[in-house]
A and B are shown apart, each in its own frame.
Chain A
Amino acid sequence: EPEVTQTPSHQVTQMGQEVILRCVPISNHLYFYWYRQILGQKVEFLVSFYNNEISEKSEIFDDQFSVERPDGSNFTLKIRSTKLEDSAMYFCASSREQGLYTDTQYFGPGTRLTVL
């Protein structure tokens, strides 16, 4: 069964450093997403991406964040200057369609980001 993959599984970085989290969505999917989940908190939407551009983003997704699909398979989330409060699990997801009554998003296993 096809699946979303993410690397690395755990990233430790120093405050102020840049990090890039990588995702490989399911190959025939067209919509891509990033979510984060701070330990013990709810899953929060960050950004959605379609046709090589951002389609929606949340208040959390400020100028420190950017997303890119550099080639036909990878989807990346960059955090330019990490803060302590960026420590969280970051989930990538993908879907073939996007609809109000369908939710066929498949989540990757996540990257745990620890900012020291």
Chain B
Amino acid sequence: RKEVEQDPGPFNVPEGATVAFNCTYSNSASQSFFWYRQDCRKEPKLLMSVYSSGNEDGRFTAQLNRASQYISLLIRDSKLSDSATYLCVVKDGGSYIPTFGRGTSLIVHP
């Protein structure tokens, strides 16, 4: 069974803080990885893809560790608007269908 595990949190941080989330996946054949953001009772929205070499998009940095089978998301200089649930998503080599984690809740407070 394919598992994608995340710490549900919540991570409660002040504005301006740096926060990091990890996500572990069980299938060593997993090929592609993504972070999505989901606001309360809203649809998931793609935040960023995760590349083997790591990638950065503004205040967000994603890393992949294939040996330990986890991906991470680092958010620098947190904003109030970053408050949301962050979903880890994994695709395997044999299918285009994504497997979602349950998400990590982030609350950024003033």
- Residues on A lying within 8 angstroms of B by beta carbon are 41-45, 48, 56, 58, 89, 91, 98-105, 107-110
Contact = CB atoms under 8 A, between A and B. Distances in A.
A109 B96 CA distance: 22
* Interface size bracket, B side: 20 to 34
Interface of B: 31-32, 34, 38, 41-46, 49, 87, 89, 91, 93, 95-103
Given A100-B96, A108-B43, A110-B43, 4 more contacts: A103-B32, A103-B34, A103-B89, A105-B98
Contacts of A99: 96
Given A43-B44, A91-B43, A91-B44, A103 B91 contact: yes
A48 B98 CA distance: 11
A31 to B, nearest CB: 9
Contacts of B42: 109-110
A89 B91 CA distance: 22
Interchain residue pairs A-B with the least CB separation, the first 10: A107-B43, A43-B100, A42-B102, A42-B100, A98-B96, A45-B97, A101-B32, A103-B34, A100-B32, A100-B31
Given A91-B43, A103-B89, A107-B43, A45 B49 contact: no
